Amino acid sequence: MNIRHLLLTTDLSDNARGAYQCATSLASKFDANLQLIHFAGAIPNLIPTTSRETLLNALEKTLADESNQHPAFEGIDVQPRLEQQRWTRKRQRTLEQELGIDLIVMSPQGRTGLAQMLLGSFADRMVRHSSVPVLLFRPVENSGTLDPRTVLVPHDFYDRPQAILPAMRWLDRHYSSTFRFLHVYDPSLSTGSQSVRGMEQQFALALKSPNTMSIEDRFAKLVDEDLQGLDVTLETAQGIPSQQVVQRANQLPADLVLLGKRDGLGSVARTVIREAKCSVLTIPTSGEDD
């Protein structure tokens, strides 16, 4: 995981500005290019063309002033970019590819300031459809920069966490992070009910087989083969996975939750990015169809 090109989103609200210092500290630390992006959104067709142009010109000037005058950007080469159309998944993916983005940084809250409104919001859509890692930054104890000393890593141990390993190495190298793997035993899997993904019951039955390695053995094997040199521990819990992950993240407290994001945005990721009090870093584990 290398950070050379950062994308910072803003809707020019105070909530969005909460991620500015984090993005600029990352840009400075890794000598990375920083793009400040604002999506203008859909402008009604009833508005005359000249008025639309005036509005877009005003937005462009406001964004330029933001990049030049906000204290968080002092001494940082910030490139403001106004996207004149509304956000779409295709446009987001195109931006990521055109600009060679390595990491998207954003606040989990925008103008509403309501965590409950995250589901279906801009932040939710950005995370769901991103082809690159997304850092949803929440300031902790008046600190506006990322300092992930304690990282919670939810993992089901059905497969190897190959997608998040580069991020773990990166966090260890630059922040000396310690990693707490968390496996949650979901009691609903033993009731015979079929889950959304459709395979959890089969996995649960397989884990009970005497020929199948326990979670502890799987973790020990992972440490020996993939996690050498990292400060890692394993915790287990029982309950609804999304609730247990949030509860543990808030109890530690964790500085960061590291999530593998497969096939869009699952229930665990949705809940964690909405309810965890710390920052969340999502890593795509598989591609989506465009």
Q: Which domains can be identified in the chain, with CATH numbers? A: 1-140 (3.40.50.620), 147-290 (3.40.50.620)
Angle between helix 122-129 and helix 267-275 axes, rounded to 10 deg: 140
Angle between helix 267-275 and helix 241-251 axes, rounded to 10 deg: 30
Q: pLDDT by residue for the chain (290 residues), tens digit each?
A: 889 999 999 988 888 999 999 999 999 999 999 999 998 775 555 566 677 788 888 889 999 999 999 999 998 999 999 988 778 888 899 999 999 999 999 998 755 444 444 434 778 888 888 999 999 999 877 778 999 999 999 998 777 778 899 999 999 999 999 999 999 987 765 544 444 444 455 555 544 554 567 889 999 999 999 999 999 999 999 999 999 999 999 999 999 999 988 766 677 888 888 889 999 999 998 644 43
The pLDDT assigned to 185 comes to 87
CA distance 110 to 127: 14
Give 37's strand partners.
9, 81
pTM, whole model, 2 decimals?
Answer: 0.85
